[in-house]
Amino acid sequence: MGLLTIGAFAKASRLSPKALRLYDELGLLTPARVDPVTGYRRYAPEQLEQARLVAWLRRLGMPLARIQRVCALGPGPAGQEVRAFWAQVEADTAARRDLATFLIDHLSRKDPAMSANAAPLAIRYAALSDTGLVRESNQDTAYAGPRLLAVADGCGSRGGPAGAAAIGALKHLETGSLPAGNLLNVLEDVVDRAQQAVHSVAGSGSSAEGTGTTLTAMLWTGSQLALVHIGDSRVYLLREGELFQITHDHTLVQSMVDEGRLSPEEAASHPQRSLLARALGQGADATPDMRLHDARREDRYLLCSDGLSTVVPDQDIRHVLAGMGAPEQAVRELVALANASGGPDNVSCVVADVVEEQRSERTGSGLRACVPS
């Protein structure tokens, strides 16, 4: 078979002549021959396979620059690149789905304002942070109050102050009303405040580049918990005896698991499992996951740093949460479990129970929040 005209090649490849001319200009799909006088393009039949691949990748929504990389790779690496791209698409879609769910939930609420005094439910809580058995200092911060539950895990030379500053930027949420129609803006604002607080602590120079923190916080609105999550600290929910992890780790290793490049078992022992893909800090991606959770009586929430989740199996966490009566007993036992497993890292835990509001609790509920000194 001889060379194909651009029209015949477009029909066979399911690409328009306009697209073929663009791909030629970009060096993505160069014609086999271009007439030096008329500029008319002709293509070899063996170019159809690459043209069809380009068409399929465009239907996936892959950017042209990334398609160029795929086409330059062999079959195995090209497949891995497509898998990685689609994993990112699914992650982005999930983030948009969560945001849509958030908006539907909070815009559908009929209450013009959310007030702690008007809610039939309340939370009882405890927080504990411990240095562990290996680290010389504690860069974690744990906080629990009537409205705000938070854990931050700092990194770098000023990681401890950075985590404390991030949570400190949220503490104004403990007072004042929370209008239902403004909740999303409130959460975005607190992330901005936390980011600015971390930048102020980090300062400038070489130390600023390595200073950052995770931030995982839940805001009690009276009947729901609004989640803000950046990094690899976690939130677990114990409901009717079952344990659910309701956050997704923002780590490079977790992204490799999402892309199918690592198994969860391989990720657990990977030497780079602590490298963050998102964090509060200089030059870091601080895009938060945000979500609303309808609270049920007898729900128990756990917020923890990775000093717990990387050394204590989920089944042991569930056993403690299900077996310990009061939140302060649960946080002490969880920290003890982490240290019994070697205590290789700082460990912080916040446990909060959703309970029926008692009249006496309308002026204050819960236990004293604990933060490292």
Return the DSSP state at 251.
B
The pLDDT, as a whole number, for residue 369 is 46
Across 69-91, average pLDDT: 86
> In terms of C-beta distances under 8 Å and separation of at least 24 residues, what long-range contacts does 90-99 make, across chains too?
90/258, 91/255, 91/258, 95/287, 95/289, 98/289, 98/290, 98/291, 99/290
Q: Does pLDDT of 368 surpass 50?
A: no
Classify the phi-psi angles of 75: left when phi > 0, otherwise alpha if psi is within -120 to 50, otherwise beta: alpha
Q: For 134-189, write each residue's pLDDT tens digit.
A: 999 999 999 999 999 999 999 998 999 999 999 999 999 998 666 555 677 788 88
Q: For 185-228, write each residue's pLDDT tens digit.
A: 788 889 999 999 999 998 876 666 789 999 999 999 887 888 99
Give Cβ neighbours of residue 143 (< 8 Å, ≥ 6 apart).
127, 149, 150, 151, 167, 171, 350, 369, 370, 371
Candidates 139, 179, 321; CA nearest to 245 is 321
Q: For 290-330, write each residue's pLDDT tens digit.
A: 888 888 899 999 999 999 999 999 999 999 999 988 999 99
| 208 vs 235, residue with greater confidence | 235
Looking up tokens 């990112």 gives 88
Inter-CA distances, 277 with 169, 274, 280, 288, 299, Å: 22, 9, 10, 12, 30
Give Cβ neighbours of residue 275 (< 8 Å, ≥ 6 apart).
251, 252, 253
